[in-house]
């Protein structure tokens, strides 16, 4: 008998649609359902879920939903109760959900209640030799595991950026509404609000098409024998503003910031890309003033097209690590790029304020 697959999602902060990662996981769930000959059930939670349900109605899947003010915001106890109730109603063998922070926090707990195994940070869900298989990386992206399990139900959380998002025209959805009665102790945590950095100060943009990496060269003495930190700050921030790129940094640069030296004030360890940093996913990457040593470049594993600007024609990028290396002064190239990008931008914006550290 073909297994029942349950796709789970929560409404995003706007309250009207699902997060992008959810449409990606839905694409993976529909593909798995087609491969296994299964029917898909969709489970949704949120304060109001009709608009989100409409957005996925053309999948033809049965939609189960739990809505109400208690499910407006992430809260472990209420989310766990809601997802558990959906699983009880759908009786799935496979549960596929997006690896959002809300679900990464709660689904392992639901797995415990269901006595189900759960795998997180998956990068693919596919059939291998006729067996449903999930892949994920271990040991800082050095080992890729293929996971197959006999235990059911099996809960799988797919990371964002790993599958094409499902798209379909919205249509009116029929929601099979489920009721959950929350005990008082499931409501003890109150949602106070979301604090996010000023949008200009938010330099890490996972959905950006371009990763812009700044290396320690930006803070080093240049041809005139002096450093140019204010110019470096302005050049990088203006480029980010005009290109919409996400900002990465080399370890050498972010370590200087951490030690309170007078370097780029918007760089933190969260920006660090590499072996002891992050492994972001972007279609393109542009490295500037960064040598391209292996412990850094290993963090570029998921960057498809790579360009680098470095004064040194023998830097690491020249040794097969970049598609194109521009042997040039990054200060000049980035200033020129920014002026070209600025000329294309019709909207004139105020200079980006540098956030306090």
Ligand X SMILES: Cc1cc2nc3c(=O)[nH]c(=O)nc-3n(C[C@H](O)[C@H](O)[C@H](O)COP(=O)(O)OP(=O)(O)OC[C@H]3O[C@@H](n4cnc5c(N)ncnc54)[C@H](O)[C@@H]3O)c2cc1C
Summarize as ranges the residues that interact with ligand X (CB under 6 A). 215-217, 220, 222, 250-253, 272-277, 289-291, 293, 295-296, 299, 309-312, 315, 329-331
Q: Which is nearer to ligand X, 116 or 263 (CB)?
A: 263
Strand order through the sheet with 303-310: 246-249, 210-214, 282-288, 303-310, 324-327
Q: Give 196's contacts (C-beta < 8 A, 6+ positions apart).
A: 202
Shortest Å distance, C-beta 303 to ligand X:
14
Q: Give 241's contacts (C-beta < 8 A, 6+ positions apart).
A: 200, 349, 352
3-class SS letters over 133-154: EEEEEECCCCEEEEECCCCCCE
| CB burial readout 190-215, b (16+ within 10 A) else e | eeeeeeeeeebeebebeebebbbbbb
CA 69 to chain centre: 27
Q: Which is nearer to ligand X, 123 or 250 (CB)?
A: 250
Closest CA relative to residue 12, chosen from 4, 3, 21: 21
Shortest Å distance, C-beta 317 to ligand X:
9
Q: Give 173's contacts (C-beta < 8 A, 6+ positions apart).
A: 50, 53, 54, 56, 57, 63
Q: Which is nearer to ligand X, 40 or 254 (CB)?
A: 254
End-to-end alpha carbon distance in the chain: 58
List residues bridging with 42 in a β-sheet.
7, 63
Shortest Å distance, C-beta 249 to ligand X:
7
Shortest Å distance, C-beta 329 to ligand X:
4
Q: Which is nearer to ligand X, 100 or 272 (CB)?
A: 272
Q: Which is nearer to ligand X, 200 or 255 (CB)?
A: 255
Shortest Å distance, C-beta 52 to ligand X:
38
Shortest Å distance, C-beta 342 to ligand X:
21
């Amino acid at each position: 008998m073909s297994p029942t697959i349950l796709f789970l999602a929560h409404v995003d902060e706007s309250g009207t649609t699902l997060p992008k990662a959810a449409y990606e996981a839905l694409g993976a769930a529909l593909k798995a359902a087609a491969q296994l000959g299964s029917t898909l059930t969709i489970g949704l939670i949120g304060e109001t879920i009709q608009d989100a349900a409409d957005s996925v109605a053309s999948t033809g899947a049965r939609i189960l939903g739990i809505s109400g003010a208690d499910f407006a915001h992430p809260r472990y106890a209420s989310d766990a109760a809601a997802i558990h109730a959906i699983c009880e109603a759908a009786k799935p063998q496979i549960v596929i959900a997006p690896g959002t922070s809300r679900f990464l926090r709660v689904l392992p707990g639901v797995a415990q209640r269901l006595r189900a195994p759960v795998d997180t940070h998956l990068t693919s869900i596919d059939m291998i030799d006729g067996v449903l298989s999930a892949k994920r990386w271990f040991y800082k992206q050095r080992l890729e595991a293929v996971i197959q399990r006999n235990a059911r139900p099996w809960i799988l959380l797919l990371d964002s950026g790993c599958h094409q998002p499902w798209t379909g025209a919205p249509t009116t959805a029929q929601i099979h509404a489920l009721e959950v009665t929350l005990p008082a102790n499931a409501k003890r945590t109150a949602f106070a609000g979301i604090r996010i950095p000023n949008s200009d100060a938010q330099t890490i943009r996972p959905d950006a098409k371009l990763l812009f990496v700044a290396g320690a060269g930006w803070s080093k003495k240049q041809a005139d024998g002096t450093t140019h930190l204010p110019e470096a700050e302005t050049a990088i921030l203006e480029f980010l503003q005009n290109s919409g790129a996400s900002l990465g940094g080399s370890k050498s640069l972010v370590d200087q910031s951490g030690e309170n030296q007078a370097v780029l004030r918007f760089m933190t360890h969260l920006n660090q890309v590499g072996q002891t940093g992050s492994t972001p996913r972007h279609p393109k990457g542009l490295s500037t003033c960064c040598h391209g040593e292996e412990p850094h470049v290993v963090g570029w594993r998921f960057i498809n097209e790579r360009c680098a600007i470095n004064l040194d024609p023998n830097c690491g990028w020249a040794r097969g690590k970049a598609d194109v290396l521009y042997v040039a002064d990054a200060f000049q190239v980035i200033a020129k790029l920014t002026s070209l990008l600025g000329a294309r931008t019709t909207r004139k914006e105020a200079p980006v304020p540098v956030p306090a550290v």
